[in-house]
Amino acid sequence: MMATVSYPNRPAQPRPGPAMAKSPVTSIDVARLAEVSQSAVSRTFTPGASVAPDTRARVLEAARKLGYRPNAIARTLSTRRSRMIALVMSNLQNQFYPLVVERLSQRLQKDGYHVLLFITETEDADELLVELMRYQVDGIVMASTQLSSRLAQEIADARIPVVMFNRSTRAGRVSTVSSDNHGGGRAVAQFLAAGGHQRVAYLAGAEDTSTNQDRERGLRDGLAEHGLRVVARAVGHYDFERARQATRELFGPLVAASERPDALFVASDHMAFAAMDVLRLELGLRVPDDVSVVGYDDVPQAAWGSYALTTVAQDATAMIEATVGTLLQQLEDDAVSRGQVLVPATLVVRQSARRPVEGAA
């Protein structure tokens, strides 16, 4: 008795005509041509699997002829490893982040990983992450974004390694990589104090971020060591336009000349550019003669002649190495402990802030 064989999910006949797509070649097609089993094909494309040299050669030859490429999606379904890493970002306007996207992608590509990119407007990435997890990403890098503790727990339960980049977090079981924001802020304080500044103002980033909190604490701690304090403060929220507004609050015509700060530490270079433009072009103040400006990040534009911004450099390369290292380690061994990496931050002295006398050429 012959069974009627039916093929669900396939049209009864291939679509006719020149527009017909070549149906993708699979390991079975290769096996047929090479006259080996489908397993043998799979093994020759699995590093470390045992295949006789002769078998391997025939498979590779057949694969070449057919233009075969193993289907990564099918592999993922079998192995539960997608070799995709989710990168979650919220703020590409700050020039530090394009650099991070670029370098991090390349670094992960080098290790055979691919980046699934998620941009979130809000800092809350929960909903996106749920979507992410459906794609079986092997790991998650959160840059400039926060994670609710509920979701952090869920991700931890699913054993997906997470690294917070440039953010720390209260949620447990998550590694973080950031620059030494407190140390950086403190170095700025020391530099300004040594330069004889008496009235230091602070232009804050988003107040709920660890970067802003640590940079500000570093500044305050460093100033205190010299008997100084922050005399004025406004919030720019890491946003260009709001930083302009904050600068007007701090230095605008309503501020008496005697009250005017003689130095401004800005929580990011991106905002520092806004501040410098307002100071010079709108308020007619000279930088650094009337007011010294110091930023944070050392983005490429900080070196541009029009700004020549003295700033704290975050070592992006070191931060990325630490991020990828942490991720790969956790990918290999789930039991690895979650740590906090702090990359040293160094002051880069340019022309936007008055220098200590002994530091001058």
Partner DNA sequence: CTGAAAGCGCTTACAG
Answer positive or negative: Cα dihedral of 214, 98, 158, 342.
Answer: negative
d(CA 321, CA 233): 35
Q: What angle do CA 112, 114, 115 make, to 5 degrees?
A: 150
Min separation Cβ 324 and a second copy, Å: 14
Q: Binding pattern to a second copy, positions 82-121, x when CB under 8 A?
A: x-x--x----xx-x-xxx-xx--xx--x----xxxxxx-x
Instruction: Provide the terminal-to-terminal Cα distance of the chain, rounded to the nearest Å.
Output: 98
Closest CA to 321 of 103, 113, 169: 103
Min separation Cβ 171 and a second copy, Å: 18
DSSP structure class, residue 47: T
What's the Cα-to-Cα distance from 27 to each of 23, 138, 259, rounded to whole Å?
Answer: 13, 25, 76
For tokens 């070592």, name the residue.
315
Q: CB of 173 within 8 A of CB of 159?
A: no
Q: Binding pattern to a second copy, positions 119-148, x when CB under 8 A?
A: x-x------x-xx-xxxx------------
Choose from a second copy, DNA, none: what does 276 bind? Cβ within 5-8 Å by kind: a second copy
Choose from DNA, a second copy, none: what does 271 bind? Cβ within 5-8 Å by kind: none
Q: Please count the residues of this chain forming the interface with a second copy, following the rule CB under 8 A.
A: 64
d(CA 289, CA 220): 23
Site for DNA in 63-122 (CB under 7 A): 68, 70-71, 74-75, 77-80
Choose from a second copy, DNA, none: what does 325 bind? Cβ within 5-8 Å by kind: none
Choose from DNA, a second copy, none: what does 301 bind? Cβ within 5-8 Å by kind: a second copy
Q: CB of 183 within 8 A of CB of 162?
A: no
Closest CA to 136 of 120, 114, 109, 166: 114
What's the Cα-to-Cα distance from 71 to each of 27, 31, 45, 119, rounded to whole Å?
Answer: 9, 15, 11, 27
Choose from a second copy, DNA, none: what does 116 bind? Cβ within 5-8 Å by kind: a second copy
Looking at the Cβ atoms of 69 and 150, the one nearer to DNA is: 69
Which ranges of the chain does DSSP label H, i.e. alpha helix? Answer: 27-34, 38-44, 53-66, 72-79, 96-110, 126-134, 149-157, 181-194, 210-224, 240-251, 269-277, 316-332
Q: Binding pattern to a second copy, positions 250-289, x when CB under 8 A?
A: -----------------------xx-xxx-xxx-------
Looking at the Cβ atoms of 125 and 193, the one nearer to a second copy is: 125
Beta bridge partners of 175: 163
Looking at the Cβ atoms of 129 and 343, the one nearer to a second copy is: 129
Dihedrals φ, ψ of 40, to 5°?
Answer: -60, -40
Q: Binding pattern to a second copy, positions 34-73, x when CB under 8 A?
A: ---------------------------------x-xxxxx
Site for DNA in 2-61 (CB under 7 A): 5-10, 12, 23-24, 26-28, 36-40, 42-43, 45-46, 49-52, 54-55
* Interface ranges with DNA (CB under 7 A): 5-10, 12, 23-24, 26-28, 36-40, 42-43, 45-46, 49-52, 54-55, 68, 70-71, 74-75, 77-80
* Interface ranges with a second copy (CB under 8 A): 9, 19, 21-22, 24, 67, 69-74, 76-78, 82, 84, 87, 92-93, 95, 97-99, 101-102, 105-106, 109, 114-119, 121, 128, 130-131, 133-136, 154, 157-159, 240, 273-274, 276-278, 280-282, 300-301, 304-307, 334-335
